[in-house]
Structure 1
Amino acid sequence: MNATARWWHPLPDGRLQCDLCPRDCQLHEGQRGACFTRMAVGGQMQLTVYGRSSGFCLDPIEKKPLNHFYPGSSVLSFGTAGCNLSCKFCQNWEISHARAQEEELQLASPERIVRTALARQARSVAYTYNDPVISAEYVLDTARTCREAGLLNVAVTAGYIHREPAREFFPAMDAANVDLKAFTDDFYHRLCAGHLQPVLDTLVYIHRETACWLELTTLLIPGHNDSPTEIEALCAWVAEHLGPEVPLHFTAFHAAGRMQEVPTTPTATLSRAREQALAAGLHFVYTGNVHDREGGTTRCAGCQRSLIQRDWQQVLTYALDPAGRCPHCHTPLPGRFASTLGHHNVAPSPVHLAPP
């Protein structure tokens, strides 16, 4: 179904300019934006995927990845279709770039999503798979319905969004994992059809001006964004502008999208990046998409003892006191924590929507 979009304005020549993200698409009647979900129809901008989803899955929150947001809890994940970046290495290529898929999306009203999440005992709902900012109106309506039902909201996003819509989007989220895809504008331009600075601006805004819990992920792609020099610059920026307590995940690339020829990221590359980040003063640095217990372990920033040990997305041990502090030195662990571990080690599984 279509819904009237927000964040656009008419141009003198009759085109409509989308003001949602830095691509600033200028559309003639009947034309779609780069994200494919926003369309000029009858002199108005329409969101063509409102109330429609590409599928649902019940996941552990660690899959997002979020390691400091109610560990072990379940999250109902869903997305729509399309994306406002064109990453050649996209791990969800079929969803984010499947333009023909729009007609195959299933109806999923905010109320139906909430009923499904509650029936599955999920603690939160995640807007993921493709970038949720391109369907911000739908996401915001769902997020409000979730909060009314006591559910939390999680965004998995590249953070490619203008400041005005960001001021509505991220305060509606309880947590966000933002893909910081690289730390050069050349990478963003060549491989994503975007730019780095808008993402950095979004990160600073989320961290400094909202209550949304923030974690970062960088997918390390061999030969493209994994040099020690680039990782050093990335970590220095995070330490200076976000601080040492924002968790950073370095994850392994596996052949995907239009980069099938690129090899899988060696575990040694992830470990080296993690060591660089720790040396730069970041306290919580993780490896992902690999079996690496040390790289998945949360250690106390005060005494360095193991507090939460993980292997891939499984929580192996959990040793926080009810207040979310280290039980040994009582240093608070930054993040959002319950008095007990959530639904321990929920395996990702497809979910059918509750009846309309």
Structure 2
Amino acid sequence: MVDRGMFNRGMTKREFLRFSGATLCALSLGGLPSCSGPSQAQIVKKGLIKTKLSPYFTPLQGGEIECTLCPNRCRLARGRRGLCRVRENRDGKQYSLVYGNPCAANLDPIEKKPFFHVLPATTSFSIATVGCNFQCKFCQNWEISQASPEDVYNIDFPPESVVRKAKEMNARSIAYTYVEPTIFYEYMWDTAQLARKAGLLNVSHSNGFINPEPLRKLCKVLDAANIDLKGFTESFYQELCSGELAPVLRSLKILRQERVHLEITNLVIPTKNDEMPVVKEMCLWIKKELGPDTPIHFSRFYPLYKLRTLPPTPVSTLERARAIALSAGLEYVYIGNVPGHEGEHTFCPKCKKLLIQRTGYMIGEVHLKAGKCGYCGKPIPGIWP
């Protein structure tokens, strides 16, 4: 989605806005309405805002409201927005400001999300708006997650158009990703309903910071979720994310209860969340509460945003985390952001044979038969062709 190298050299706000518009226009080459000519302003527009009334708020005295979508529970006076920057109190009611106006839409390999147990070697049509309910100091997409709708170029792209475009591009799924999709919940919900009717999967990469009621409703149309379990201490979440750990753990358990396919990503950041005793505690919790067959991805950190002075995660640290997870009893443990590493592959936990070979987003050998190990017949959790 974002050319990371451009931002590593210190991209200015003006450069980013121009780049955002170019990214959206590039989509027209794949069949979106043309971004050239008189119609351009109707398709891609800086600061495009499309509103929709949200059901997730409680009216308070004096025209104030409390947002009930995520655990932040922002209290908003008239005309004020929540921490996510995309929900506003208008005359005592809460409106989403990003309904049907994403700032990013791309066709990605499903492995990029990352999902390693969902339709390998297929593509996922991926959308995002601006905004987030966290403020992670290490966010790789901070240019849009920490922006307001007025800051970037957005596209007029209602749910029915998203589904139609995904089908045209032969995607097998629609992914709600790049930023925290909870903040564009109404857009995601309406799109997901249409996607399911069209035979597409709905997948989400989320921080899991959402209240139980909207999450359980979303589970009715959600096929798979990859949750960023960013750390395993409250202090980490408070200091680096301006968030909380407990609601994320609750969301993980709800997703398991609702039988949504679940994978977990843990970005391992040097000196911040790389203490191996804490990693072990996290893995034991996952095994007990979610099951030993829950895939986990230990992902390599690269210096970004407000943590540019830290080094990339040593590969040896990721390997130690993987070894601890396996010894704790987790069966599917991956290493991410290290293309070519053995930790990218899927192995059968019973016979130890190679089941899916990966190099980056490329798929090599596959030895699955009807969702089972092609050698010993052990069922492998996931959504398979």
Instruction: Name the TM-score, length of structure 2 as normaliser.
Output: 0.86
Structural mapping, 1:156-305, within 5 Å: 156-208=205-257, 210-305=258-353
Mapped to 2, the partners of 1:153 and 1:100 lie a distance apart of 24
Matched, 1:317 2:365: yes
The match for 2:158 is 109
Q: Report if aligned partners of 2:300, 2:318 keep a CA contact under 8 Å in 1.
A: yes
**Which amino acid is the alignment partner of residue 197 of structure 1?**
A
**Residue in structure 1 matched with residue 4 of structure 2 by the alignment:** none
Structure 2: runs of 5 or more not aligned: 1-49
Give ranges in structure 1 of 5+ residues lacking alignment: 339-356
Relative contact order higher in (CA < 8 Å, ≥ 6 apart): 1
Q: Deviations over 1:105-163 (max 9, x none)?
A: 11111111111101110000000011111111110000001111111101110010011
How far apart, in 2, do the equivalents of 1:103 and 1:85 lie?
19
Deviation at 1:16, TM superposition (A): 0.5
Residues 46-68 of structure 1 show CA distances to partners (whole Å, capped at 9, x for unaligned) of: 10000111121111111000000
Aligned ranges 1:63-74 → 2 under 5 Å:
63-74=112-123
Query: In structure 1, which of residues 29, 38, 47 is the aligned counterpart of residue 96 of structure 2?
Result: 47
Structure-1 residue corresponding to 2:355:
307
CA RMSD of aligned residues (A): 1.1
Structure 1 position 102, deviation (Å)? 5.1
Instruction: State the partner residue of 2:382.
Output: 335
Helix, strand or coil at the partner of 1:22: coil
CA–CA distance in 1 between the matches of 2:256 and 2:232? 18
Q: Describe the superposition over 1:192-226 as per-residue Cα deviations: whole angstroms up to 9, x where unpaired.
A: 11110000000001012x13110000000000001
The one-letter amino acid paired with 1:59 is D
Residue 12 of structure 1: aligned partner: 61
Query: How far did 1:104 drift?
Result: 2.0
After TM superposition, the runs of 4+ consecutive aligned structure 1 residues lying more than 6 A away are none
Matched AA of 1:281: G
Change (3 A) 1:30 1:200: same
Contact conserved, 2:98 with 2:149, CA < 8 A, in 1?
no
> In 2, Cα distance between the equivalents of 1:88 and 1:206?
26
- Aligned pair count reads 336
- Give the deviation of 1:100 after TM superposition: 5.5
Is the CA contact 1:49–1:102 (under 8 Å) kept in the aligned structure 2?
no
For residues 83-122 of structure 1, what are the structure 2 equivalents within 5 Å?
Answer: 83-99=132-148, 101=150, 104-122=153-171
Equivalent position amino acid for 1:243 in 2: G
Q: CA deviation at 1:101?
A: 4.6
SS at match of 2:310: coil
Quote the Cα distance in structure 2 between the aligned partners of 1:66 and 1:327: 20
Q: CA deviation at 1:103?
A: 5.6
In structure 2, relative to structure 1, the CA distance for the partners of 1:101 and 1:278 (3 Å cut) is farther
- Give CA-to-partner distance per residue, 1:294-335, whole Å, 9 cap, x none: 1011111211111001122221211111x1111211111111
